[in-house]
Structure formats: structure tokens, C-alpha cells
């Protein structure tokens, strides 16, 4: 089988879906690997590194049409979807709620797609969990980004000129990204408070040195996969009222709340931002899925009443080398899971694939995306 690794077309995407490390393993498993010239350049992985492990470097631009399997990071473009031949398998992030037309084209072309963001959070799939591997990088980089832009120290300093108090960091969401942000901010010496709608994460937050922000009438807000459930507007309003008190004294706020396959919840209103003091920084990690802050603009820097609001499109892409190393291992684990006698066996009943399959055999298998496509078409 021929595996193709294209150069990503999204302008903000610097990652690559396969590294020389994973290509070498694919070749040993019997795959013919073709890598588009320059695919790994932004991740500090030159073409020669791929050649040395047995890959062929494509400069003709025709490899996609000849591939049995395509490994990607960002969602396919409309052009890439249109040129995918029937029964090709494409693995990557698809963001289906934002790419309805692309998903429809892939289904009509009888292309099988496996969405890395839909990998179920079960024990068998831990090595394939790309959301977690990339969220961890994003949480780290969010703190580093905030520290580089904040006009003050993170740690407590006692000097001959007097004492400098530590910065206060508030993190909204204690998933993988939030916990990594907490750990990083604590290592830099900040005082950290964390809010999450799931009471079960309180122990994890406190074990990393953070303070849990209690919310009223907390309910079981965790789904079977360990992700936060979507909450009603009444609960979100009560949450905002409590958070406003904590945000008013924060130097840095990092928002991480996302719901797979849906728009990110709005946790910070304009009024909450206006309650913060000038010089404070907000890093909205959910900007690409709508943002947790009302004033966030994707890919832009917004200053409102002296508060800097950053809406990065993809923090993991800014650390492309390590992000690619981890992501490519997640993809490899998924490929190896499906590999039988040198071929990929797509079993829709498999407990891993049943969640990850977006399109297969001419149909859209992911129910929310299928409903959205029907809504758009009607």
C-alpha cells in the first residue's frame, strides 16, 4: 500500500503528519511511503531525513491521486478532497463542524476518513489520543506566550529594592491543556487558580499546586469519554458571576474549554474583561472553535480597556518539531491498529474505529456531522 504525506496547505500549519521515525516503521511494515517535498521543512525535518529511511520524495504533485492512504494534520482543502480517489483512506484532524462541504465531497467520492479528534478516550486508544498530545503542548506554550508578553515577573522576588509579588494566573478548564498550563505556570512561580465544571478534577488541580475555584450547584458535567459536557446558559451565567471576582485580580487568564465537535462555550463576556485591570493578558486557546472570550478574534491581538486578548489559531503548530513527533506517533498507532497482513482493515464495529470514522463506504458515519450536512443541504 502506498502512503502519502503531503505538505500542509493551511497558512498557520507548520506540523507534519509523519516524521522520519514513523516513516521508517511504516516502511518496515511493508508500506511504500511517499513524502511531498518540503512537507517536514517547517518542523525542522528535511527531505533528506525522509530519504534516508526509505521514503520517496514527490515533486510532481500527483502523489495524492495515486495514494492508498494519506496522512495529514489539518483538514483537507476543497481541492484535496476533490482529487481524492474512491477508497482512499485519509487520517488527520477534520474539524467537521467547520468543513461541512469538504466532508460531503469526501463522502460522495467514497473516501474513508478517520478523524483524530474523534478518537474515543478509552484505554486501547491512549496511544492514538492526538487531542491530548497536542493539548499538552498548547497548554505549555500558552503560559510561555503569556509570560513573554506580560510586563511583570511571574515568581515572587525579594530584592534590595523591595518585594515583587508573584503574578496571579487564572486557568479556565482543567483538561489536558489546562493542567499542563497549571504545571508550567507553577514552575515559573505564579499563583494559580483553576476553574472547571467537573468537581472530579479538584484533586488533580490541587496535586499540581493550584487552587480550585468552587462553583455553585456543581453537577456531574463529565461525559463517558472524560470530556466536559455542554452546559446550559443558566449554569454558564452563574459561572461567569463567580469568575468575575477572580478575574478582576488576575494578571493572566488562559482559557482552554472546548467541546469536541461543537462551538466552544463562551466563558468570558465583555463585562468580565472590563473588570480586569490594564496590563492583564488573556490567551484564548479555544479561538479556533469560536473562543471562550466574547472579544477574541481568531489569529488576532485585541486590546480592550488595556487588556491584551490573544486568539492563536494553533499553539501546537508554533512548536512544530515536538508537536509533529508526538502527533505522528499517534497516527502511526492508529495505522498499526488497523494493519492486518500488510493491509488496512476498516471495521466500523471496532471500538476504536467506530468513534473515529467520519466517512466510509459513501456515507457520513459521525451522527452530528451527518445532521449538520442535512441541515445545510435542506
Cβ–Cβ < 8 Å for 17, 328 = yes
What gap in Å lies between CA 351 and CA 131, rounded to an integer?
18
State the CB neighbour count (10 A cutoff) for residue 232.
Answer: 7
- Phi and psi, residue 310, nearest 5°: -105, 130
What gap in Å lies between CA 141 and CA 30, rounded to an integer?
37
Burial of 146 (C-beta count, 10 Å sphere; 0-12/13-18/19+): buried
Cβ–Cβ < 8 Å for 316, 323 = yes
- How is residue 268 annotated by DSSP? B
Radius of gyration of the chain (CA): 22
Helix, strand, coil share of the chain (percent; to 5):
40, 20, 40
- DSSP three-state, residue 309: strand
Helices (H), the chain: 20-28, 47-51, 63-66, 78-82, 100-108, 130-149, 176-187, 202-207, 233-247, 270-274, 320-338, 353-356, 367-377
Q: Which residue has the cell 497536542?
A: 134
Q: Which residues are catalytic?
A: 121, 126, 129, 132, 227
- DSSP three-state, residue 175: coil
What gap in Å lies between CA 163 and CA 211, rounded to an integer?
23
| Residues paired with residue 92 on neighbouring β-strands, in sequence order | 115
Query: 320-338 and 130-149 helices cross at what angle (nearest 10)?
Result: 170
What gap in Å lies between CA 25 and CA 35, rounded to an integer?
14
Long-range contacts of 216-219 (CB under 8 A, 24+ apart): 216/242
Number of alpha carbons in the 13 Å side-chain half-sphere of residue 109: 23
Amino acid at each position: 500500500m502506498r502512503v502519502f504525506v503531503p505538505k500542509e496547505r493551511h497558512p498557520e500549519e507548520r506540523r507534519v503528519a509523519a516524521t522520519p521515525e514513523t516513516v521508517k516503521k511504516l516502511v518496515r511494515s511493508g508500506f511504500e511511503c511517499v513524502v511531498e517535498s518540503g512537507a517536514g521543512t517547517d518542523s525542522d525535518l528535511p527531505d533528506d531525513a525522509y530519504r534516508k529511511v526509505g521514503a520517496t520524495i514527490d515533486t510532481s504533485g500527483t502523489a495524492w491521486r495515486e495514494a492508498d492512504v494519506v496522512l495529514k494534520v489539518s483538514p483537507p482543502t476543497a481541492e484535496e478532497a476533490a482529487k481524492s480517489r474512491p477508497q482512499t483512506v485519509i487520517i488527520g484532524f477534520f474539524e467537521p463542524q467547520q468543513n461541512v462541504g469538504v466532508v460531503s465531497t469526501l463522502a460522495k467520492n467514497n473516501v474513508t476518513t478517520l478523524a483524530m479528534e474523534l478518537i474515543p478516550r478509552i484505554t486501547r486508544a491512549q496511544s492514538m489520543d492526538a487531542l491530548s498530545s497536542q493539548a499538552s503542548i498548547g497548554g505549555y506554550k500558552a503560559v510561555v506566550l503569556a509570560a513573554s508578553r506580560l510586563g511583570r515577573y511571574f515568581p515572587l522576588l525579594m530584592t534590595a529594592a523591595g518585594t515583587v509579588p508573584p503574578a496571579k494566573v487564572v486557568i479556565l478548564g482543567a483538561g489536558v491543556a489546562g493542567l499542563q498550563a497549571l504545571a508550567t505556570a507553577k514552575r515559573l512561580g505564579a499563583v494559580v487558580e483553576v476553574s472547571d465544571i467537573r468537581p472530579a478534577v479538584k484533586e488533580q488541580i490541587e496535586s499540581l499546586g493550584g487552587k480550585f475555584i468552587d462553583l455553585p450547584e456543581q453537577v456531574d458535567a463529565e461525559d463517558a469519554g472524560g470530556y466536559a459536557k455542554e452546559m446550559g446558559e443558566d449554569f454558564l451565567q452563574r459561572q461567569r458571576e463567580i469568575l468575575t471576582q477572580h478575574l478582576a485580580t488576575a494578571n493572566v487568564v488562559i482559557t482552554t474549554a472546548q467541546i469536541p465537535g461543537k462551538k466552544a462555550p463562551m466563558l468570558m463576556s465583555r463585562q468580565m474583561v472590563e473588570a480586569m485591570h490594564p496590563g492583564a493578558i488573556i490567551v484564548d486557546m479555544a479561538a479556533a472553535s469560536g473562543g471562550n472570550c466574547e472579544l477574541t478574534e481568531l489569529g488576532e491581538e485585541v486590546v480592550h480597556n488595556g487588556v491584551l486578548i490573544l486568539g492563536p489559531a494553533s499553539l501546537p503548530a508554533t512548536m512544530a518539531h515536538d508537536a509533529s513527533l508526538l502527533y505522528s506517533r499517534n497516527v502511526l498507532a492508529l495505522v498499526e491498529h488497523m494493519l492486518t497482513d500488510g493491509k488496512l482493515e476498516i471495521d466500523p464495529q471496532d471500538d476504536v474505529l467506530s468513534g473515529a470514522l467520519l466517512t466510509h463506504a459513501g456515507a457520513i458515519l459521525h451522527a452530528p456531522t451527518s445532521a449538520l450536512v442535512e441541515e445545510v443541504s435542506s
